Amino acid sequence: MGWGTAWPVIKAILQDLPPLWTLVFRSAIGTSVLFVISASRQSLIFPKRGDTAVVLNVALLHMVAFAALVSLGLQFVPAGRSVVLGYTTPLGVTVGARLFLGEALTAARIIGVAVGMLGLLVLFNPLSFAWDDRAAATGNLLVLLGSLCWAASILHVRAHKWVSTPFELVPWQALLATCVLAPLALLFEGIPHPPWSARLVLLLGYGGSVGIALPYWAVQTVNRNLPAITTALALLAVPVVGVVCSSVALGEPVGATLIMAMALIISGIGIGMTGSFRRLRAAANR
C-alpha cells in the first residue's frame, strides 16, 4: 500500500522537482521519520560489523539504484506503466533464488509467478507501446534496470546472516542512501529552485514517510522471514495499487484490460504463496 500509493505522488512531485532531488527530499524525510521512531522505541543502535554488507546492499542497490532509475524513468513513462515495469523483479528473483539460494521451484511458485507476470504483461501491453519513441524506450529501460538492481538486493537480504533486526538497520540504510543521493543530485541537476507550496510539502511528506520509511522497514522484515521468491511474488500487489491510484489521482484510464490484469496478478500471488503460508502454519504448530 505504501509503495503503490506513493507512485502517483512521486509523479506529481516531478512537476515541481527534478527526479534526483525528488528522491533526495523524500529520502531525507524518510530517514528523519525512521530515526525519530527508533529513538522513541529506544532501539537506535549503531550497525554491527556483521551487518555492514546488508546496510550497503539495501542502501546502494535498492534505496539509491532502484529508486533513482525509476525516478529518472518516470520522466518519460506514465506512472501506471512504470510501476508495472518496476515490479518485474520476481523474474530475476525467481531465477536467482534457484541458482544462488537453492530455493525449490515448486509447482505453486512457478504457476504463481507465471500467472502474475502474465497479468503484468496484460497491463504493459507491448502491442500498444511506441517502440520508435526514443524517450519512452529510454524510460522503460531505466525502470527495468532498476528492477534488476532490486532483485539482486532481495536475494542478498535473504542470504544475509542477520545480527541486528531490520528496523534497527533501516534508519542507517536510509541515511547512507540520502548521503549518496544528495551529491549525485547536485552534480547532475544542480541546485534546485522548487516552487514551494503547501501542496508540494504535503506530497513530499507523504512520499517520504509512507513511501519510504514504512515500506523499506516492512519489506526487509518480510524478506528476512519468507523465501525470496515468495517475497518478490507478494510485491506484485504494488502495481495493482499503483495503477489504480494513478488512475484515480492522475486520470490515467481504467478499462477491462486493467481489471483482467489485476485479477491475474492477485490470482498469481494467491497461488504462489499458498505453500509458504502452509509451511509457516506448520512451523508455528510445532
Match 507491448 to its residue by C-alpha cell. 126
pLDDT of residue 189: 92
Query: b/e for 110-123, b at 16 or more Cβ within 10 A?
Result: eebbebbbbbbebb
pLDDT of residue 172: 96
**What global pTM score does this model have?**
0.78
pLDDT of residue 283: 55
pLDDT of residue 166: 83
Asked if 108 contacts 272 with a C-beta cutoff of 8 angstroms, the reply is: yes
For the chain, the structural domain boundaries read 2-285
pLDDT of residue 219: 83
Q: Which residues contact 2 (CB under 8 A, 6 or more apart)?
A: 210, 211, 214, 215, 218
Q: How many CA atoms lie within 13 A of 51 on its CB side?
A: 19
pLDDT along the chain (286 residues), means of 10: 87 89 94 92 88 94 89 72 70 80 79 81 70 76 87 88 88 96 93 93 95 87 79 78 80 73 77 62 58
